[in-house]
Amino acid sequence: MKRSSRVEWFYQAKWGLFIHFLAESPGGNGSNWGDVSIESWNRKVDACDVEKLAAQLNELKVGYCFLTLGQNSGYICTPNATYDRLAGRDSKTSRCSRRDLVTDLYQALKKYDIPLMVYAPSHAPLPDAEVAIALKCVPPWACMWSLPSVQKALEPFRDSDPRIRTFQRHWEAILREWSLRWGDNVHGWWFDGCYHADKLYNFSDEPNFSSFAAAVRAGNPDSLIAWNPGVVYPPEVISSEEDYTSGETNEPDQTQCLGRWVGQAQFHVLSYLGETWGDPNIRFSATELAQVTRNITDHGGVVTWDAPFNHADGSITQEAFTVLSEFSRKMQGPRRSVRAQVPLVWGKTISNVQGSGDTERAEVEVSNPHDVPIRGQVEFRLAPANVFQPIPALDFALAPGEKGRHVFSVHPSSYASVTAVCEGVEQHLRFPGPCGIRAPRLEQRYPVYAPGGTLLAEIGFCLSDDRQLVIRGTVYDVHAQPLPIPWQGSGLEIFMMPKDNRDARLQAFITPATATRPAAVQRSFNDEFQTIPGSVIRTVAGSNGYDFDLALPLTLIATSGQTPSAVDLEMQLTVNTPQGYRRGTLFGSTNPFISTEYYVTVSR
């Protein structure tokens, strides 16, 4: 696989900053931009002091800077005649700013030789219904780009084409206009919301990833590109056109970089300095920030930090600037080689095997992400250990970019939670178990790990005779703190649906009891969280966290009056730690809300 030659400057930069210059709250779904209007948006864009921001970035010695063009509200910080024409808007109704903030910022940054990169969604702003309809960005399937209420409002305008090709061509034309205007003054792009690549872009005929990339590189063939599939551990490549991984992560201190390359792309992660995107409350000291960053850059990766800014003039906030100044001093100097050159280890189930042993076949892939040959041995630690046959250690000798495979058998009524150990470095695999778990038992506990291998919980489950999913376990959350939006705080998310019927999927949010609120089992309905009827939950706090018992009726996902006897299942844990919230999934999904790839079929 040919590695991207465009990214050498990006690799040498090591780290940079990201400015979420938006009308709405960063990461917002389009419902929280308050009283923004066309005039107030233009005032905000006009007030941005690019000279002051550029001087700050120069003083911090940043390697590059990202600027958002816009997100879900439809307010964009640069003009685009193609966008307005396709949306049916004129100079009075356009949500594109009159000022071209991108042009003004790159001219300011040029004085200091700081490359500018830009952020854009991979789709139209659905909450701006007029644009979504005009651009034909309403697919016939349920998308993950907006709130259910917004999707419901757009229901009558769904395009019959599942690939929404008309929209894709519109979006390519919009991006092409920007690329041709800015030329080589914009060095790269980061595209958000690429959650449906298999539905939209992974095709040999256009529109696809290749035509998308061609539009983006129309003005600069050396532009770097990354498409974001969501929060994925470790960072993934979803297209051969990508030069670097999007790398969105909430827990950068738990992100493990084992080499410079992920396929053909530069290893890169993007996270935030504050408690969340754009938040002014900095969560790291300068020393901690340097440690987290060095843990990635010293092993060949690149790190981008989202920095809070003053909305009055666009400059970095004083608190963030103070921390970043000390952090920048600590980051001076070359990369250090502090970890052995170990392989990337990956796992997946490849088939069911029916026979006298009734076993499952599984595959482990070992690859070399380094620029030099490596050799060594990988040993495997399996959990739960009492249901696995031992797996022999895997010897490897790999050239740069080379891969090796190892196939083994596992017990069919368990799943493989595998920790590979090479030269003292542990790698907890994103490894789904066998395709089906028959007659699981509550007393059989399965571990849930955060990225990096931290044990979050041990869980047992079964489908009961009275048609319920029963779950029992211990969550190692000593300081459990649920939040108003359940998935952001301590708790458990259950994803279940009849086998291969995603339309009947249930997403349940389980939050533990605290001193001020009882335990709850909820689901989202019309943008509100409501108690799930027929559910039962009990949590008991202990010295190591909390124990819980949960029962969910299978009638909640019944279709055509039939209660399923087998369900596709995944669980995601969120645990509050002194370093922030940590998340992990039972069967290895990186984003179970978006992808069902790693759901496991459970039957009675």
Q: Average the pLDDT over 490-497 and give the result.
A: 94
Domain spans, the chain: 12-330, 340-434, 439-604
The tokens of 443 are what?
């007393």
Question: In this predicted structure, what is the pLDDT of residue 143?
Answer: 80
User: Which CATH architecture group holds 439-604?
Assistant: Sandwich (2.60)
Q: What is the largest CA-CA distance in the chain?
A: 74
- Helical ranges in 145-184 per DSSP H: 148-154, 165-182
- CB-count exposure of residue 59 (10 Å: 0-12, 13-18, 19+): middle
- Most confident by average pLDDT, 34-48, 346-360, 374-388: 34-48
- Which of 389, 386, 437 is CA-nearest to residue 412? 437
Cβ neighbour number for residue 188 with a 10 Å cutoff: 24
Q: Average the pLDDT over 446-461 and give the result.
A: 84
Between 588 and 498, the higher pLDDT residue: 498
104 pLDDT above the threshold of 50: yes
- Which of 299, 301, 300, 319 is CA-nearest to residue 309? 319
Side by side, the strands of the sheet bearing 268-272 are: 224-227, 186-192, 116-121, 65-68, 15-19, 302-306, 268-272
Question: In this predicted structure, what is the pLDDT of residue 350?
Answer: 47
Q: Average the pLDDT over 230-235 and give the result.
A: 82
The β-bridge relationship of strands 224-227 and 186-192 is parallel
Question: In this predicted structure, what is the pLDDT of residue 244?
Answer: 98
Question: In this predicted structure, what is the pLDDT of residue 351?
Answer: 47
Q: What does the pLDDT look like over 543-569, one tens digit per residue?
A: 999 999 999 999 999 887 788 888 988
Between 435 and 207, the higher pLDDT residue: 207
Domain 12-330 has CATH 3.20.20.80: yes
Question: In this predicted structure, what is the pLDDT of residue 357?
Answer: 46
Residue 455 DSSP symbol: E
Question: In this predicted structure, what is the pLDDT of residue 410?
Answer: 60
322 pLDDT above the threshold of 60: yes
Question: In this predicted structure, what is the pLDDT of residue 384?
Answer: 61
Looking at the chain, how many residues does it have?
604
391 pLDDT above the threshold of 80: no
Q: What does the pLDDT look like over 175-188, one tens digit per residue?
A: 999 999 999 999 99
352 pLDDT above the threshold of 90: no
Q: Average the pLDDT over 399-427 and give the result.
A: 71
Residues near 186 by beta carbon (within 8 Å), at least 6 away in sequence: 102, 106, 116, 117, 118, 178, 179, 219, 220, 223
Question: In this predicted structure, what is the pLDDT of residue 30?
Answer: 44
Least confident of 81-85, 115-119, 468-472, 523-527: 523-527
The identity of residue 490, as a single letter, is S
Q: Average the pLDDT over 314-331 and give the result.
A: 97
Q: Average the pLDDT over 485-508 and give the result.
A: 88
Q: Average the pLDDT over 130-149 and give the result.
A: 86
1 pLDDT above the threshold of 70: no
Q: Average the pLDDT over 113-137 and give the result.
A: 96
Question: In this predicted structure, what is the pLDDT of residue 7?
Answer: 97
Q: How confident is the model at residue 26 (pLDDT cuts 50, 70, 90)?
A: low
Sign of the four-CA dihedral 528, 531, 532, 533? negative
340-434 and 439-604 in the same fold: yes
Side by side, the strands of the sheet bearing 446-449 are: 446-449, 455-463, 468-475, 545-553, 536-542
521 pLDDT above the threshold of 90: yes
Are 102 and 186 within 8 A, CB to CB? yes
- How many Å apart are CA 148 and CA 137, to the nearest integer? 15
Least confident of 52-61, 82-91, 199-208, 496-505: 496-505
Across 194-298, the runs of DSSP E, i.e. the strands, are: 224-227, 261-262, 265-266, 268-272
Least confident of 74-78, 313-317, 407-411: 407-411
Q: Average the pLDDT over 414-433 and give the result.
A: 65
What percentage of the chain has pLDDT greater than the value 70?
89
Residues near 136 by beta carbon (within 8 Å), at least 6 away in sequence: 159, 164, 166, 167, 170
Q: How confident is the model at residue 337 (pLDDT cuts 50, 70, 90)?
A: low
428 pLDDT above the threshold of 80: no
Q: How confident is the model at residue 385 (pLDDT cuts 50, 70, 90)?
A: low
Q: What is the mean pLDDT of the chain?
A: 87
CATH code of domain 340-434? 2.60.40.10
The tokens of 472 are what?
């029992």
Are 217 and 210 within 8 A, CB to CB? no
Q: What does the pLDDT look like over 433-453, one tens digit per residue?
A: 444 566 677 887 888 888 767
367 pLDDT above the threshold of 90: no
- How many Å apart are CA 2 and CA 503, to the nearest integer? 39
Query: If you search the block for the tokens 């256009």, which residue do you land on?
Result: 206
Least confident of 18-22, 37-41, 144-148, 491-495: 144-148
Question: In this predicted structure, what is the pLDDT of residue 223?
Answer: 98
Q: What does the pLDDT look like over 272-304, one tens digit per residue?
A: 999 889 899 999 999 999 999 999 999 899 999
Q: How confident is the model at residue 217 (pLDDT cuts 50, 70, 90)?
A: very high
Question: In this predicted structure, what is the pLDDT of residue 409?
Answer: 67
359 pLDDT above the threshold of 60: no
The CA-atom distances, in angstroms, between 393 and each of 378, 407, 422 are 6, 12, 10
- How many Å apart are CA 473 and CA 476, to the nearest integer? 10
CA 213 from centre of chain: 21
Q: Average the pLDDT over 389-404 and give the result.
A: 83
